């Protein structure tokens, strides 16, 4: 595990390195809580228009280069940054968890988190699952969920509520489990559960995962406009 290099893109921190899961586990062993952000072009563009979101991202303990746009931006700047998709970081972390380091699955549609947790239990029988909660809880149910997290004190809390909701949710509640590793994992539960497919390796290796997602979900085309917008905004950003 090498040292993490702190970079900046559009006023947001980016931590370049490798084996992030080892860094996270070391922090956990030291009693330090961590908010992990999986930074991509769409998130950066949202933060540019949403000061509260930008403040949350700036305060994150670890921001990994999730998106191809982020990696290509630094390549243009002459810096080599290896992409680390959030789902891959989460998988690497889960694989290294010890039986006394339980994980909580929070988010996604009813049944999806359960299926994702079940698939992981099959893949890693000694994985300790502290709890499971879908993302369709009401305001009235929120206090009970918060109390549950506070009582359980999981080592890892995977939050699949989508951007920016998951980032705000973690920032507002991380004090409930101050030593935990909190990660916003977006649609990872859907992929683990088998309700969606991740792009084939060729697309991922050539920074074209966004194209495969567009093929799967054509309605996302407006959101994909964030990529060229990010390229222009990031390269001309000042302040």
| Average pLDDT value over all residues in the chain | 89
- Pairwise CA distance, residues 156 & 97, whole Å: 9
For the chain, which residues make up each domain, given as ranges? 13-88+107-135+142-236
Q: What is the mean pLDDT of residues 125-133?
A: 98
Residues 6+ apart with CB under 8 A from 22: 1, 96
User: Using an 8 Å Cβ cutoff, are 36 and 57 in contact?
Assistant: no
- Pairwise CA distance, residues 42 & 112, whole Å: 24
Tally Cβ neighbours within 10 Å of residue 8. Answer: 11
Strands 12-16 and 5-9: antiparallel
Residue with tokens 């899961």: 21
| Alpha carbons within 13 A on the beta-carbon side of 143 | 1
Question: Which alpha helices (DSSP H) does the chain contain, by range?
Answer: 20-29, 41-49, 51-58, 68-76, 86-96, 112-123, 142-152, 165-173, 188-193, 201-205, 209-216, 221-224, 226-236
Q: What is the mean pLDDT of residues 131-148?
A: 97
User: Using an 8 Å Cβ cutoff, are 68 and 83 in contact?
Assistant: yes
Whether the model clears a pTM of 0.95, i.e. scores above it, the answer is no
Q: What is the mean pLDDT of residues 201-226?
A: 53
Question: Is pLDDT at 214 greater than 90 in this prediction?
Answer: no
- What confidence score (pLDDT) does residue 221 get? 38
Tally Cβ neighbours within 10 Å of residue 5. Answer: 11
Token pair, residue 221, equals 């085309």
CA 7 to chain centre: 18
- What confidence score (pLDDT) does residue 77 get? 87
Residues, the chain, total? Answer: 239
Q: What is the pLDDT of residues 90-124, one digit of tens each?
A: 999 999 999 999 999 999 999 999 999 999 999 99
Q: What is the pLDDT of residues 16-32, one digit of tens each?
A: 999 999 999 999 999 99
Question: Is pLDDT at 210 greater than 60 in this prediction?
Answer: no
What is the distance between the terminal CA atoms of the chain, rounded to a whole angstrom? 33
User: Using an 8 Å Cβ cutoff, are 44 and 234 in contact?
Assistant: yes
């Amino acid at each position: 595990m090498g040292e993490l290099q702190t970079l900046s893109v559009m006023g947001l921190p980016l931590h370049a390195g490798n084996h992030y899961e080892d860094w996270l586990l070391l922090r956990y062993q030291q009693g330090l809580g961590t908010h992990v952000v999986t930074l991509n072009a769409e998130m950066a563009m949202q933060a540019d228009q949403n000061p509260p979101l930008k403040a949350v991202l700036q305060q994150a303990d670890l921001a990994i280069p999730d998106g191809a746009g982020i990696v290509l931006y630094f390549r243009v700047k002459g810096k080599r940054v290896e992409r680390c998709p959030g789902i891959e970081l989460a998988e690497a972390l889960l694989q290294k968890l010890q039986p006394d380091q339980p994980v909580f699955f929070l988010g996604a549609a009813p049944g999806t988190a359960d299926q994702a947790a079940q698939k992981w239990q099959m893949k890693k029988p000694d994985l300790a699952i502290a709890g499971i909660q879908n993302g369709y809880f009401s305001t009235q149910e929120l206090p009970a969920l918060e109390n549950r997290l506070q009582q359980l004190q999981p080592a890892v809390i995977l939050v699949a509520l989508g951007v920016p909701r998951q980032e705000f949710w973690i920032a507002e509640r991380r004090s409930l489990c101050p030593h935990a590793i909190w990660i916003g994992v977006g649609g990872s539960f859907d992929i683990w559960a088998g309700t969606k497919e991740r792009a084939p390796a060729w697309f991922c290796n050539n920074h074209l995962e966004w194209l495969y997602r567009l093929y799967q979900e054509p309605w996302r085309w407006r959101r994909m406009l964030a990529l060229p917008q990010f390229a222009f905004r990031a390269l001309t950003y000042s302040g």
